[in-house]
Amino acid sequence: MNSVLEAMKKRRSRYALTNECSLSSEALHQLIADALTHAPTPMNAQTARLVVLLGENHRRFWDALLVRLKEVTDPEKFPKTKEKVETAFRAGFGTILFFEDTEAVQALKDKLPLYAHNFDSWSDQSNGMLQITLWSALAEANLGASLQHYQELMEDALKKEYDLPKPWRLLAQMPFGRATDVPEEKSIDPLSKRLFFFGE
């Protein structure tokens, strides 16, 4: 199989992580920088921003999320939520935070009014492309990860703690580390309903 597709096949959502990393600090920085450098963006606009939390910063993020989740979760359900956050996310080695710079997106809309209505969607799409690039690259490097969405609860607190620009929009969080779970077999819908070729 093509090596890109091999990495994508190896990539799964991994929900039991340990605080270990198969890569040196330098190699991890390079892998993340390479993904950000080479993922495609509309009109090469490069509107994604990444923040990588490691060590205490990573753990503080998930601890702060638990405080917020406790405020909004049914008390009976909270112990289960807490266990998941602790074992699947906080127990990992680090967390990659995916942002889009809405000021840079607005600049594109101003520059190209004909396409302005597309740029919010393209901003989401290109960030998704970066997410899958990194998720697959981590898997290829024997690092497990999952994709989480707690932006409503955490965006403001993150901006305050790390003095991040206000126009940045948080899209996703990717906790990663050594994965110890065995991913469940996933159901695959028939390709005959989803894939069509016309011509040779």
Q: How far is the CB of 138 from ligand FMN (least distance, A)?
A: 12
Which residue number, 41 or 173, has a Cβ lying nearer to ligand FMN? 173
Q: How far is the CB of 113 from ligand FMN (least distance, A)?
A: 29
User: How many angstroms separate the most distant Cα atoms in the chain?
Assistant: 59
Binding of residue 54 to ligand FMN (CB under 6 A) = no
Which residue number, 21 or 171, has a Cβ lying nearer to ligand FMN? 171
Which residue number, 114 or 188, has a Cβ lying nearer to ligand FMN? 188
Q: How far is the CB of 146 from ligand FMN (least distance, A)?
A: 5
Q: How far is the CB of 147 from ligand FMN (least distance, A)?
A: 4
Return the amino acid letter for 77: K
Q: Are 174 and 164 in contact (CB under 8 A)?
A: no
Contact window for ligand FMN (CB under 6 A) among 19-27, 68-76, 79-87, 147-155: 147-155
Binding of residue 84 to ligand FMN (CB under 6 A) = no
Binding of residue 55 to ligand FMN (CB under 6 A) = no
Find how far residue 111's CA is from the centre of its chain: 29
Which residue number, 112 or 155, has a Cβ lying nearer to ligand FMN? 155
Binding of residue 95 to ligand FMN (CB under 6 A) = no
> How many of the chain's residues bind ligand FMN (CB under 6 A)?
8
Binding of residue 129 to ligand FMN (CB under 6 A) = no
Among 41, 47, 126, 148, binds ligand FMN (CB under 6 A): 148
DSSP state letters, the chain: --HHHHHHHH--B---EES--SS-HHHHHHHHHHHHHHS--GGG---EEEEEEETHHHHHHHHHHHHHHHHHS-TTTHHHHHHHIIIIIITSSEEEEEEEEHHHHHHHHHH-GGGGGGHHHHHHHHHHHHHHHHHHHHHHTT-EE--B--HHHHHHHHHHHHT--TTEEEEEEEEEEEE-S-PPP-----GGGT------
Among 40, 55, 165, 183, binds ligand FMN (CB under 6 A): 183
What lies within 8 Å, CB to CB, of 186 at 6+ separation is 12
Residues that bind ligand FMN (CB under 6 A): 12-13, 146-149, 183, 186
